[in-house]
Structure 1
Amino acid sequence: MPNYLTLPIGEGAPDEVNAVIEIPRGQTNKYEYDKQLNVFRLDRNLFSPVHYPGDYGFIPSTLSDDGDPLDVLVLVDAPSFPGCLMIVRPIGMLKMIDQGREDEKILAVGTNNPIYNDIHDYQKLYPHLLLEIEHFFSVYKELEAKTTRISGWQDAEQARAMILECQANFGEKNS
């Protein structure tokens, strides 16, 4: 099995990047890629009665400030599966505080999903969809006695800049 963390970021980065899905849309199970075993394992069940609002995973060959690959939430009309590799277009970024530390979630759409062909920035989405995403990330750890706080949305340009920064961090650590 390949090391998913070191898969290429994607030929069109940062405009189009690879996303490795860990958690399919609608799940209450939190799967994580285990880099020692090179498998996707069940980390835990969410303590709250909420489910992931999109396919959730990471962008390979990136390293964010929390020591993990950069998180990505992919808007999909049907869930995929853990280990699925998607080519996605970043359309924004949700900034938040997780356990007192800054955390970023890249919001993306599949490049081959006709529903999102004309979506290039998160501001073109239905406002209620953005509220659902914010709500999920603000409460999903609450019953674990962990705190999260939403800082706000940033546009596609800022999302692409974050991807490049995290790609550079990965390159520095692995050179």
Structure 2
Amino acid sequence: MPNASPMELPALDPDTGLVRVVIDTPKGSRNKYKFDSKLGLLKLSRILPAGMSFPHDFGSIPSTCAEDGDALDVMVLADAPLFPGCLVHVHLIGVIRAVQKERRKMIRNDRLLATLETSVNKPSITQLDQVDGQQLKEIEHFFRSYNQAQGREFRITGRGGARQAQKMFRDAVREFDRSKAKAAKGA
């Protein structure tokens, strides 16, 4: 796929059947990057306030469309920070369900949680309930604080396990395919 956007890659790796994630922001970074599909590059989206950084690697699943209109967001629990633009294969282990205010309307903006296919310290984590409870609270606190720093209302509405994450993934792939087919007809 020469000159193709990484966000146009199939959501599943054809050889392994694992979910693909393109990392945009590494663990420990204060810089939030976002993929610009028109340029085919990652762009600096914002700088987090002093003392705030991403607790884990953050990225998106290519060829998906979530309820907020963007690719599915994924926080990847990895052994060490990855780099922006890195393509990884993951196991979806759960979801943090959330809503946020966009254009005066509350919309869903869930965050999937995943572990790497290749992991030294986390290979046994296959379900959300295997993640340390304090670590989950810290992740939720980060998302609340991140949105609050932007002046955006954000509320966590619950958590779900691997099955729920897989269902959300399948739904987002179908929505992406529907949107792409609709755009092709209109072109």
Partner of 1:103: 109
Partner amino acid for 1:38?
Answer: G
Number of residue-to-residue matches in the alignment? 174
User: What corresponds to 1:7 in structure 2?
Assistant: 9
TM-score of the two chains, using structure 1 as the length reference: 0.94
**Residue in 1 that maps onto 2:123:** 117
Preserved contact between residue 46 and residue 141 of structure 1 (Cα < 8 Å): no
The amino acid across from 2:21 in the alignment is: A
Larger radius of gyration: 2
Larger RCO: 1 or 2 (CA < 8 Å, sep 6+) = 1
Offset, 1:48: 6.1
| Deviation at residue 11 of structure 1 after TM alignment | 3.2
For 1:32, the aligned partner's letter is K
Contact 2:5–2:40 (Cα < 8 Å) also in 1: yes
Q: How is 1:30-45 mapped onto 2 (pairs within 5 angstroms)?
A: 30-45=32-47
Q: Would you say the 8 A contact 1:59–1:70 is kept in 2?
A: yes
SS at match of 1:151: strand
Question: Gaps spanning 5+ residues in structure 2: where?
Answer: 182-187
Runs of 5+ consecutive residues of structure 1 not aligned to the other structure: none
**Is 1:59 equivalent to 2:68 in the alignment?**
no
- Structure 1 runs (4+) greater than 4 angstroms displaced: none
Aligned twin of 1:91: 93
Q: Deviations over 1:101-126 (max 9, x none)?
A: 11111100001103222111010111
SS of the aligned residue for 2:170 comes to helix
Deviations along 1:6-37, one digit per CA (max 9) or x if unpaired, are: 11112379x72000000000111110000000
Q: C-alpha displacement at 1:49, in angstroms?
A: 3.1
Percent sequence identity over aligned pairs: 34
Residues 87-166 of structure 1: pairs in structure 2 closer than 5 A: 87-99=89-101, 100-166=106-172
TM-score (norm 2): 0.88
Contact 1:97 1:151 survives alignment (8 Å) = yes
